[in-house]
Structure formats: structure tokens, C-alpha cells
Structure 1
Amino acid sequence: MIFHLGELFCGPGGIGWGATHADINDPEYGIVHEWANDYDEDTCETYRHNICPDDPDSVYHGDIRTFDMDQLDPIDALAFGFPCNDYSVVGEQKGMDGTFGPLYTYGVKALKKFRPQWFLAENVGGLRSANEGKALKKILSELEGAGYKITPHLYKFEEYGIPQARHRLIIIGIRNDIDIEFKVPSPAPYAGIDNTCRNAIENPPIPADAFNNEPTRQSKQVVERLKHILPGQNAFTADLPDELKLNIKGAKISQIYKRLDPDKPSYTVTGSGGGGTHIYHWEEPRALTNRERARLQTFPDDFEFLGSKESVRKQIGMAVPCRGAKIIFEALLKCFAGIEYESVEASINE
């Protein structure tokens, strides 16, 4: 069974890459791109360029709230990483009351319209506590109401060999009339992988002519500040001279001027970048390049992001790690192919 995948809120192609590269050593089972949609133009260009260069018209740039789904071809699989701004722990946490909170309903609408055999929905772990837990309960109820058996699970991608501590709630749904049960793939097979950020960034060395690898420019003050910050420390835990301390009242976000610890996975790559929220190298007094950030998200070096340097930073930060998506899609394909694999109980708890 070759599944034709549609994607809403497709991003630059982390999910798309994982889906189209999923391989269970059975040529009868695979996933191919059918269409995708995103509201950001650069993101759509990146997706076209890397995921479906031979079919650029299958990627639709447009706001889902005014998008006409009638123009889309039939699909038998759907993925939607619905926008997480209102569910993120570092966001304003408006949940269902925010601009982006209700956008999951368009995923539900697509499920009812296309009746795909399965779907994958993705969001931040903060969704679990949004609106005192009511948001997640409502979303799960509506996904079930669309006619699907659902398996929500909090994936900690660093446990799956990904060089980044990234926790994401991923919901797999299989249509009710299909007698197949999805099982969450176990992280055990990935225990021996070196998922330190040093290994991800340095092995193999990034080629001099790599895409999206322009050096970052730091002000003299930032360079001086970083010289006093040890690996794993941030602007508030480091022993900084008074003239380099940050004059911030209220919340002291731990990722401000935080250097990576080279012997651990990176902290979460985000789309933000102002006010010291770039990810900072453990040794050199600078922020990471976009290519280094892309490596932490497990994008291959030949994956070229299009747009301005700032646009590319946002695209990388909003994506799902390619290899993480691939692991989940391969588990799904194995379920349909009847291939046993090591699994764990689904859980949305930390």
C-alpha cells in the first residue's frame, strides 16, 4: 500500500521528508507526497524545492482560514502540525482563546472531507495544560468524533537518537473501520546513538560550501558576555561582570544566552532569535549558523532552505525533526504491513 499524503501547516518539510523517506524494506509500503499547504510563502518555497521539485503546483500557499479544500486531490493519509503559538510554554498560553488555538479544526475538517486511512497530528507538549487541560480533551474528542482510533503520545525526541531535547505531542489516528492498532515505537533501539550536539554539528564537518551556513554576527558586548558563560550556562547562571549582566525583571528564561553543553543533546531549537534566544556554541563566542541548527533538527545537508536568513531560522525552529518523523511513519507503515516492532505504552505524561 502506497499512501498518498496531504499536509496542512506543512512547514518547510520535516514531516514531509520523514514521510517520503520512511522505509520498512517492503516495496509495497511507502508514503508519497500528494499536496501541502502553509500560510508562509518562504516555507512553501522551501517545501517545493526539497520535497516535490517536480510538482511545485501541489504546494498551496494560503491561509487555511480562507483556503478552498475543494481544489485538493483525494488522499489516503493526512499530516497536520497545527500551529503551536498559543499552546507553547514560552508563548502567551492563550490556548483555545488565541488566534492560532482553533486552527486544529481545519485538520478535523480535512479528516471528514477526505476520510484518509490514517493521520498524524503534531503540537507542543504545552498543549496538555492549555486551558487547564480542556483544550487537549476537546481536540482528542473531535478527532475521535471524525471517525478515528487515536493514540496520543508525548515523544521525547532525544530518546530516539535525535541530538536535541524536543518534546512533542503527536497524535496518530487510524480510521475506525480499519482493524489495525498503532503502537508507539520504543526508544530502546536508539539507546546507543551518540546524540550529543557536538557529534551532530561536527561529525562529519559541515562543508565550507554548505547551504544556509552564513556566519552569525555578534556585537562586541555579546562576544564579551559569551566569553564569561561556560557550556550549559546561561546569562543568569554564569558569573558575569556587572557591566555584562542583563537588566531583566520578572521571568528569567533559561535559554537567554545559553551555551550548548557539547556532551548532551541541544536544548530545544525554536523559531525565535531576538534578545539572546539564538542557540549559542559551546566554545566559540557566537550563535549557531542556520545549518548547524538544521543539523540539530536532523535535516540532511543537501536540504536547502529558501528565504532570508531570519526566515530560514524561523522555518528550522518550527519544523519537526526529520529523523524523528521518519521513525514514527515507519512504525505506522509496519502496523499496516503486519510487521512486529518493539513498542511502549502510549502516554502523554512527562
Structure 2
Amino acid sequence: MSEYEYRLGELFCGPGGMALGAHFAADEVPNVNVQHEWASDYDQPTVDTYIHNIPRATPNSVPVEDVRDLDISKLGDIDGFAFGFPCNDFSVVGEHRGLHGTYGPLFQYGVNVLEQKQPKWFVAENVGGLAGANGGEAFRHILLSMKDAGYVPVVHKYRFEKYGVPQARHRIIVVGIRDDLHKDGIIFEVPDPAIAEYVPETSRQAITVPEIPADAFNHEFTRQSANVRRRLELIAPGQNAFTADLPEELQLNVKGARLSQIYKRLDPSKPAYTVTGSGGGGTHVYHWSDPRALTNRERARLQTFPDWFEFKGNKESVRKQIGMAVPPRGAKVIFKALFRSLQQLSYPSIEPNLKFPGVQP
């Protein structure tokens, strides 16, 4: 195996956005090869999607299992590790329970992989709200755990729309280099978004160029009720159900949270707002001119999945998979910078926008 061939392991792998981004990056950085070694997720349709689309993935290499029951010792050796641990308790939507919630402590299983497998590097992803969970102590605890496992973490809150993703998706990415490699001069630097490689893309461009074929995968249209259609017809592009001038019978009787995404129509001249996988009616992302929710293929376009990427499962499962995924184009940005760093190749970079004294160099 060459020095720059990396066997990749993943926890909380989702449908494969992170893995796809790693493969795309390897195609663009000389001498790099990425090989799927293993991955895991707890949801069967999600794993079916991963196996169907990610090279070398099989039912044996992608177990469907709750991470709390997964025997890490039986997983193969890896050179690189990726994990987008569940964000429910760190999201800006919800109770912000952080490490005290059901999902917050699950990051530890990723740290367990680092301790047992000692890959050369890792990439971890979570929502922007992670930095403020439990008054910032949750994130500091997570980073210290990564450092204690033998890694130098570099933390940055990426605004993926600045890197050519047609969506305002803001995520914290931690890239860790193993201590011995860092001492040998391998240092990850945050890629600079202000270069010609990253061309801004609007929601209209993403969805319409090229036109989506009628028989494309996951392109089923949703039947909208008469009331929803009437409501959307009165909501201008970029507006939502609370900022539009709606008659009383079409107004929403919502107490408490008045999410800006509820029945919000896309502004075709800008990147989309954040595509999510949770929530009920009113949160499905709405077309700027047609009075309807987007199809799953249109959502997948906003998440930068190629049209050949076929999601498995029923329509609601697919919507959830798309919303929970890491956009492959965003992941590719991180992995290209990482693969260049590992070869000590220079590239335009910026200072990380998140610093934690005592954790980072």
C-alpha cells in the first residue's frame, strides 16, 4: 500500500456524503487513493443507500447497528476516520442539552475508535451550535478527549455556501492529525474560500442546470393540499409563513418557535437556506415559483449529491437521509485540503475561526 492510500472507516456514516467527498477529493489530489474499509449507521435504509453508492461497501463492511452495541475491536485497521456524530442535542432547534442529552455523549464512540485504531487522521462534523452547548464546556470536553487520544485538532466553523455549496449550511468541522505526524511537520490548514475554485451557486442554478430528467432517481412530487398551495402562492420568494401577508384563514397558529424555514420559499438568486431532515409540514423546502415542496432529487441537488446517486427507502426516509447528510462538495473541500496537508503541499489557507487555548497548538 502506498503512503497516500487511505483505508477509511466511518461511524454515523449516513447515506455517504462524507465518503463521497473523500473519493471526489482523492480524484483531484495526485497520488491519493481512498478505499472504503468499514462504516456503520443504525438506520437500515440509510445503510442500503451507502452500500448502493459507495465503492467497495458491502453488507458485511457496513453493519446496521446502534453504535452503543458496536464491537469496535472487530472492525479492521484504518488510516483515516470520519464521523458526523448525531447533532440533535447540539442543534439550534431544540433544547440544547449538549452532553447531558441522549445523543450528546455519542461522540465518545468516535474517540474510542481513535484510541483503539490510531488512524493517521480524522474528520469530525457537527452543527454550529456545538460550540455553545453547555456554555462551551461540551465542545471543550470533546476536543480534550480527541487530544488525549493522541491527536492535534483544528477546529473551524465552515460556511459551505462560501465554498460553492448552493445552500447556507454552517457546520463545525474538526480535523485531527495524529501527534507523531504533526511533530514531523504535517499541519492541517483551513482552506481559503476566497479563491476561484469555489464558485458561488444559487438555488436556481443547482436545481435547473442541467434540467432534472423526469425519470431521475428520487424525483417524486408531493401532492400539496389546496390550503398549502394557496398559502404558497401568497408567499414571495425568500419569504416564509410569518413574513408574508396572509389572510387569517391561511395564517399558522403556532405558539413558541416561529422557525424562519416554515413554508419558506427559496430565493432563486441566492443559495438555499439549510436543508433539514427533521420536522413536519412546512419544513420541506419550497420552490420559488411552483407552489410546492421540492422533490427529494431537488433537495439532493442542493446538498450536491450527483444525479446518479440513488437513495434507498421510502420518500420520507429519503428526505431524512438527504437532510442529515454532509454535502459531498463541502466534504471534498475539507478532504482536498487534508490530503494536500498530508503530502505537505501548500494551498491558500486562513486562520481557524474557533480557538481553544490548551487544546490546539
Taking structure 2 as the reference length, the TM-score comes to 0.94
Counterparts in 2 of 1:26 and 1:275: CA distance versus 1, 3 Å: closer
Gaps of 5+ in 2: 356-361
1:323 aligns with 2:329: yes
Aligned to 1:177: 180
Aligned to 1:37: 40
Gaps of 5+ in 1: none
Counterparts in 2 of 1:189 and 1:274: CA distance versus 1, 3 Å: same
1:145 is matched with which residue: 137, 143, 148? 148
Q: Once the 2 structures are TM-superposed, how far is the Cα of residue 345 of structure 1 from its aligned partner? A: 0.3
Deviations 1:180-227 (A, max 9, x none): 100001101257624100000000000111000000111110000001
1:156 aligns with 2:159: yes
1:218 aligns with 2:224: yes
Deviations 1:265-306 (A, max 9, x none): 000000024131110000000000000000000000000000
Letter in 1 for 2:259: I
Aligned to 2:193: 187
Mapped contact 2:73–2:116 kept (Cα < 8 A): no
Aligned to 2:358: none
Aligned to 1:340: 346
> In 1, Cα distance between the equivalents of 2:283 and 2:53?
28
Deviations 1:131-167 (A, max 9, x none): 1111001001110110101101000000001000000
Mapped contact 1:159–1:191 kept (Cα < 8 A): no
The percent of aligned pairs where both chains have the same amino acid is 61
Deviations 1:220-251 (A, max 9, x none): 10000001000000000000011101111222
* Of 245-254 and 262-271, the range deviating more from structure 2: 245-254
Mapped contact 1:258–1:279 kept (Cα < 8 A): yes
1:15 aligns with 2:21: no
Mapped contact 1:20–1:33 kept (Cα < 8 A): no
Aligned length: 349
Letter in 1 for 2:189: K
Q: Once the 2 structures are TM-superposed, how far is the Cα of residue 56 of structure 1 from its aligned partner? A: 3.6
Letter in 1 for 2:85: F
Report the secondary structure of 1:154's partner residue.
strand
> In 1, Cα distance between the equivalents of 2:244 and 2:286?
14
Q: Once the 2 structures are TM-superposed, how far is the Cα of residue 60 of structure 1 from its aligned partner? A: 1.0
Report the secondary structure of 1:155's partner residue.
strand
Letter in 1 for 2:281: G
Q: Once the 2 structures are TM-superposed, how far is the Cα of residue 55 of structure 1 from its aligned partner? A: 3.4
Aligned to 1:278: 284
> In 2, Cα distance between the equivalents of 1:247 and 1:56?
46
Report the secondary structure of 1:70's partner residue.
helix
CA RMSD of aligned residues (A): 1.3
1:70 aligns with 2:61: no
Mapped contact 2:164–2:200 kept (Cα < 8 A): yes
Mapped contact 2:265–2:285 kept (Cα < 8 A): yes
> In 1, Cα distance between the equivalents of 2:197 and 2:257?
35
Counterparts in 2 of 1:130 and 1:204: CA distance versus 1, 3 Å: same
Counterparts in 2 of 1:310 and 1:53: CA distance versus 1, 3 Å: farther
